[in-house]
């Protein structure tokens, strides 16, 4: 598990000179699936096997087990099953592990997983904000908590949001600056290249981009246009 891009590439190149034929390299980081093809080719030339493994679970995985998505040759996956079984959640293997396909399929699946994650998080965020804005709801945190059992929207992310609100009532002082680690971008770009409509992922990703802007040139243009045709005036906002 090495940061994707150059660090992973350099590590693979180094390993290609150190390992012996029949050895296996498992990239458990967040490489782009196109890199996997290159890394596998590089290692194959020296007889080393390659698996790509998407890993989900965050800081909680150490305790509960990690969801694993693996790409590569079936016999190599088979050979490494004991490793995957040790890392994945207990219970049926298929509930926390998949051999998704050939080289790259593991990281592809992880990329899609993360793309979904963006949409889920933004959906909960929007609902939380609408509750906050409600003229009638008084117990916002209580509503979210009441959804954790029995309801259609129950999920682990919802439980985490309930926990966050318990730790920091009203999320007071928490910045709305939302970074992104890159996999959501890859998922949207891949969607574009496959002509898959992903309006929810796009909306969620763009909301994060916007959250990080000190000033939005696009909205400056909108405000300037309103002034041009309507004489609405522009100037420092009252709020920011």
The site that binds a second copy (CB under 8 A) totals a number of residues, namely 141
Tell me, yes or no, if 41 is annotated catalytic.
Answer: no
138 tagged catalytic = no
Element (H, E) at 50: strand 49-56
> Does 78 participate in binding a second copy (rule CB under 8 A)?
no
Choose the stretch contacting a second copy; rule: CB under 8 A; options: 16-24, 41-49, 75-83, 131-139.
131-139
Q: Which of 117, 129, 159, 190 is catalytic?
A: 117
Q: Are 50 and 80 in contact (CB under 8 A)?
A: no
Minimum CB distance to a second copy smaller for 10 or for 151: 151
3-state secondary structure of 26: strand
- List the catalytic residue out of 14, 110, 163, 190: 110
CA distance 215 to 187: 26
Q: Which pair of tokens denotes residue 200?
A: 């929810």
Task: Enumerate the H helices of 19-102 as residue ranges.
Answer: 33-44, 61-64, 74-79, 81-87
Report how far residue 181's alpha carbon sits from residue 87's, in angstroms, rounded to the nearest whole number.
23
Crossing angle of helices 105-133 and 156-167, rounded to 10°: 50
CA distance 25 to 40: 9
- Contacting a second copy (CB under 8 A), which of 48, 67, 77, 183? 67
Residue with tokens 């940061």, as numbered in its chain: 3
Select from 4-12, 16-24, 40-48, 177-185 the region that touches a second copy (CB under 8 A): 177-185
Closer of 47 and 210 to a second copy (Cβ): 210
Single out the residue of 7, 44, 130, 169 in contact with a second copy (rule: CB under 8 A): 130
**Footprint on residues 5-24 left by a second copy (CB under 8 A):** none
Classified as helix, coil or strand, 131 is helix
User: Contact, 115 vs 183, CB < 8 A?
Assistant: yes
Phi, psi of 214 (to 5 degrees): -70, -45
Please say which residue, 40 or 43, places its beta carbon nearer to a second copy. Answer: 40
Q: Site residues for a second copy, window 27-66 (CB under 8 A)?
A: 33, 56-61, 64-66
Per CB under 8 A, which of residues 194..233 are in contact with a second copy? 194-232
Residue 7 beta carbon to a second copy: minimum distance, rounded to whole angstroms? 19
Residue from 40, 147, 169, 183 touching a second copy (CB under 8 A): that is: 147
Q: How far is the CB of 14 from a second copy (least distance, A)?
A: 26
Residue 72 touches a second copy, criterion: CB under 8 A? no
Catalytic positions, written as ranges? 110, 117
């Amino acid at each position: 598990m090495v940061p994707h891009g150059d660090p992973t590439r350099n590590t693979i190149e180094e390993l290609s000179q150190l390992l012996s034929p029949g050895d296996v390299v498992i990239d458990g980081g967040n490489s782009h699936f196109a890199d996997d093809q290159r890394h596998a080719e590089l290692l194959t030339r020296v007889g080393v096997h390659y698996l790509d493994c998407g890993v989900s679970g965050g800081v909680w995985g150490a305790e509960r087990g990690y969801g694993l998505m693996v790409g590569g040759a079936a016999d190599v996956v088979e050979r490494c099953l004991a490793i995957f079984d040790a890392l994945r959640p207990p219970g049926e293997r298929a509930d926390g592990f998949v051999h998704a396909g050939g080289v790259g399929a593991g990281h592809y699946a992880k990329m899609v997983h993360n793309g979904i994650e963006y949409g889920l998080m933004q959906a909960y965020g929007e609902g939380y904000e609408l509750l906050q804005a409600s003229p009638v709801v008084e117990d916002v945190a209580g509503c979210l908590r009441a959804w954790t059992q029995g309801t259609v929207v129950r999920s682990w992310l919802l439980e985490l949001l309930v926990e966050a609100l318990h730790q920091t009532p009203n999320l007071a002082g928490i910045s709305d600056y939302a970074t992104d680690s890159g996999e959501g971008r890859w998922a949207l770009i891949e969607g574009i290249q496959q002509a898959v409509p992903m309006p929810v992922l796009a909306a969620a990703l763009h909301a994060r981009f916007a959250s990080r802007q000190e000033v939005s040139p696009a909205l400056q243009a909108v405000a300037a246009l309103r002034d041009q045709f309507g004489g609405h005036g522009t100037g420092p906002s009252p709020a920011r």
